[in-house]
Amino acid sequence: MHISEGVLSAPVLVTGAALAAAGISVGLKKMDPEKIPQVAVLSSAFFVASLIHVPIGPSSVHLILNGINGLLLGWLCFPSILVALALQAILFQFGGITVLGINTVNMALPGVICYYLFSRLVTHERKVISLASGFACGFLAVFLSAILVALSLVWAEGSFTEAAELIVVAHLPVMIIEGLITLFCVAFLKRVKPELLGGRHEKRAW
């Protein structure tokens, strides 16, 4: 769901960059310099995970995992996603420099929202609640990202409306898959390493 270079207009690019800068500075304030290795290694893990293609019918989609990124990293998902997108832009030319800000916001803001909505719920004792919120977290993160991408396009140019609508609809299956993957992944982490869940990398929690 990267927006390419050259598609958006100046106001969208500038707003995206400003919002990204705000999110990143909140993230960096909350980051304990001692925790750089942890955050970086988790960012690498998310980078690698986003290269995984899962089959869906005759086609396949790659994982996004911004929901679970938010759950694990809280506000730190802003710097984490910025770094991942910068690396993707340099290594594979996905996205770009001028769209780095808006792309970061489109992916990281849903992650932060999911962190606030679900970080308590996924560790709930009742299995139903924890599983349901895992699914909702993965689903909602991709849904919000698709909406933000669509809004960025429409704001830049009114005639992108139809294309933007199709982007959201086309991502419905991705939302379901991300929901399922997040559900199982949260269940797995709860059993294997519960201390990873709940944005514990933010400074105050340590």
Partner 1 sequence: MIEEQFASGESFVHHLDPRMKIITAFIYAVVVALSSGFPALLAALAVSLVLITLARLSMRKVLYRLVVVNGLILFLWIFLPFTYQGEAWFTLGPLHATREGIAFAIQITVKCNAILLALIALLATTPIVTLGHAMGRLRVPDILIQLFLFTYRYIHVIFQEYDRLRNAMKARGFVPRTNTHTYRSYAYLVGMLLVRSYDRAERIHKAMLCRGFRGKYHTLSQFSVTRGDVAYFMVMVSVILGMVLIQWKAIR
C-alpha torsion angle, residues 174, 179, 181, 186 (rounded to 10):
160
Q: Measured from the CB atom, is 41 or 128 closer to partner 1?
A: 41
Answer yes or no: are the C-beta atoms of 95 and 89 closer than 8 Å.
Answer: yes
In angstroms, the CA 145 to CA 28 distance is: 22
Answer yes or no: are the C-beta atoms of 11 and 152 closer than 8 Å.
Answer: no
Kindly write out the interface string for residues 1-40 of this chain, putting x where it contacts partner 1 by CB under 8 A and - elsewhere.
-xxxxxxx-x--x----------x---x--x-xx-xxxxx
Q: Measured from the CB atom, is 22 or 163 closer to partner 1?
A: 163
Backbone angles phi, psi at 61, to 5 degrees: -130, 155
Answer yes or no: are the C-beta atoms of 139 and 176 closer than 8 Å.
Answer: yes
Among residues 64, 85, 89, 108, the one that binds partner 1 under rule CB under 8 A: 89
Q: Measured from the CB atom, is 94 or 116 closer to partner 1?
A: 94
Among residues 121, 151, 154, 196, the one that binds partner 1 under rule CB under 8 A: 196
Contacts with partner 1 in 101-160 (CB under 8 A)? 157, 159-160
In angstroms, the CA 161 to CA 179 distance is: 26
Contacts with partner 1 in 149-188 (CB under 8 A)? 157, 159-163, 166, 177, 180-185, 188
Beta strands in 33-176 (DSSP E): 53-56, 59-62
Helices and strands (H and E) in the chain: how many: 8, 2
Q: Measured from the CB atom, is 104 or 110 closer to partner 1?
A: 104
Q: How far is the CB of 169 from partner 1 (least distance, A)?
A: 13
In angstroms, the CA 194 to CA 181 distance is: 17
Q: How far is the CB of 178 from partner 1 (least distance, A)?
A: 10
Q: How far is the CB of 146 from partner 1 (least distance, A)?
A: 13
Q: Which amino acid is it at 100?
A: L
Contacts with partner 1 in 40-79 (CB under 8 A)? 40-45, 47-49, 51-52, 54-57, 63, 65, 68, 72, 79
Q: How far is the CB of 151 from partner 1 (least distance, A)?
A: 16
Q: How far is the CB of 168 from partner 1 (least distance, A)?
A: 13
Backbone angles phi, psi at 98, to 5 degrees: -70, -25
